């Protein structure tokens, strides 16, 4: 049976830590990293200046360049929260234990980053 993308995202979030941008970014731990999993072309159009861009398609291969420890606080966002959810699920599968999905839209991420 094929499930819809919204259903896939909803099911994935049941096993993930999720929060809004303001909840995450108002009290960001010192060693935390913020990852934008959008594609480089999307980031070129509208960037989130406090985020590191690692596209969802390569996150498993590139995360070690930014998070050496399994318990590094990793906050993940995209344009809607869907790709961030799937990326967070993969990071948990490879052993990262402190992954948080920022579930809101990109404009809320940008606003929260500007406020902090």
CATH number of 5-115: 3.40.250.10
- Transcribe the chain into DSSP letters: -PPPHHHHHHHHHTTSEEE-HHHHHTT--TT-EEEE-S-HHHHHHS--TTSEE--GGGHHHHGGGT--STT--EEEE-SSSHHHHHHHHHHHHTT---EEEE-S-HHHHHHHHHH-
Q: What are 65-91's pLDDT values in tens digits?
A: 999 899 999 999 999 999 999 999 999
Global pTM reads: 0.92
Residue 29 has pLDDT above 90, yes or no: no
Residue 116 has pLDDT above 80, yes or no: no
Q: What ranges do the domains of the chain cover?
A: 5-115
């Amino acid at each position: 049976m094929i499930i819809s993308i919204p259903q896939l995202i909803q099911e994935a979030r049941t096993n993930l830590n999720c929060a809004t941008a303001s909840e995450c970014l108002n009290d960001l731990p010192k060693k935390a990293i913020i990852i934008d999993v959008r594609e480089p072309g999307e980031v070129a159009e509208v960037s989130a200046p406090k985020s590191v861009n690692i596209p969802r398609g390569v996150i498993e291969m590139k995360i070690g360049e930014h998070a050496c420890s399994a318990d590094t606080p990793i906050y993940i966002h995209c344009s809607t929260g869907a790709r961030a959810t799937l990326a967070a699920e993969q990071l948990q599968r490879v052993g990262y234990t402190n992954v948080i999905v920022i579930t809101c839209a990109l404009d809320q991420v940008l606003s929260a980053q500007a406020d902090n």
